[in-house]
Amino acid sequence: MTHPVVSREDWLTARKALLAKERDMTHQLDALRAERRRMPWVHIDKPYRFEGPKGECGLGDLFGDRDQLAIYHFMLTPGSDHICSGCCFVADHIDAARQHFEQADLAFAAVSRAPLQQIEKVRRRMGWSFPWVSSGEGDFNYDFGVSFTKADRAAGRAIYNYGSVIQNSPDMFGISIFTKDKKGEIFHSYSTYHRGVELVMGAFNWLDLTPKGRNENGAMSWLKLHDEY
């Protein structure tokens, strides 16, 4: 890899110039995060149901005793043997994070359309412990823009990430955030998809500090399930 090599003094000059840009970006991100927190909410009045290891549960049950809930929409299609390496990459970060953000009034659950037996097989293989439930063929995944019927895909009505038309995949990935008030009413506050999910990919943040960056030949070209390296 060919790269300029300079004196420590010249390096420090370049580093300080970059630091000024990093600080500016940090302030912009702070403002963006504040704007995200001010987003309006949507009241959830549909009785979504899920199947978990302890039986049937509702969206409110996934909060436990916390007032906020993060959902990861994990791509796991019923009857398919495909396990999304990108979703697994996200999931590898979750259990470590949960021990901290669950102290800050945030619960977590992953949701997939696949039946619970299929989910549990993947969970055991990957060694994850976070809550992961099945939405089955209920409306949840469809309402939150990560699952698409065959008819909608054929008709060009399968819209992902607020504008992209999905033609082939019945399931995609994303993150949705919910909150509840003192009465127990639930509200949807935020969802992000596609590259927005990079927000929670901590390994990318480390790689982005290095000269090779993410070292990709195409998006996530080197990525495998962690037991396949």
Q: Could you write out the DSSP letters of every residue in 109-173? A: EEEESS-HHHHHHHHHHHT--S-EEE-TTSSHHHHTTSB--HHHHHHT--EETTTEEPSS-SB--
* Residue 1 predicted with pLDDT over 80: no
> pLDDT averaged over the chain?
96
Q: What is the pLDDT of residue 102?
A: 87
Q: What is the pLDDT of residue 113?
A: 98
Q: Which of 25 and 220 is assigned the larger pLDDT? A: 25
Q: What is the pLDDT of residue 5?
A: 96
Q: What is the pLDDT of residue 219?
A: 82
Closest Cα partner for 75 from 168, 214, 206? 168
Q: What is the pLDDT of residue 220?
A: 83
- pLDDT (average), residues 23-29: 98
Question: pLDDT digit string (tens) for 82-91?
Answer: 999 999 999 9
Give the integer Cα–Cα distance in Å for 86 and 119.
16
- pLDDT (average), residues 142-155: 97
Give me the amino acid identity at 82: H
Give the integer Cα–Cα distance in Å for 189 and 186.
10
Q: What is the pLDDT of residue 37?
A: 97
Closest Cα partner for 166 from 37, 226, 77? 77
Give the integer Cα–Cα distance in Å for 132 and 71.
9
* Residue 127 predicted with pLDDT over 90: yes
Q: What is the pTM of this model?
A: 0.94
* Residue 137 predicted with pLDDT over 80: yes
- pLDDT (average), residues 70-90: 96
pLDDT above 70: percentage of residues in the chain: 100
Question: pLDDT digit string (tens) for 46-61?
Answer: 999 999 999 999 999 9
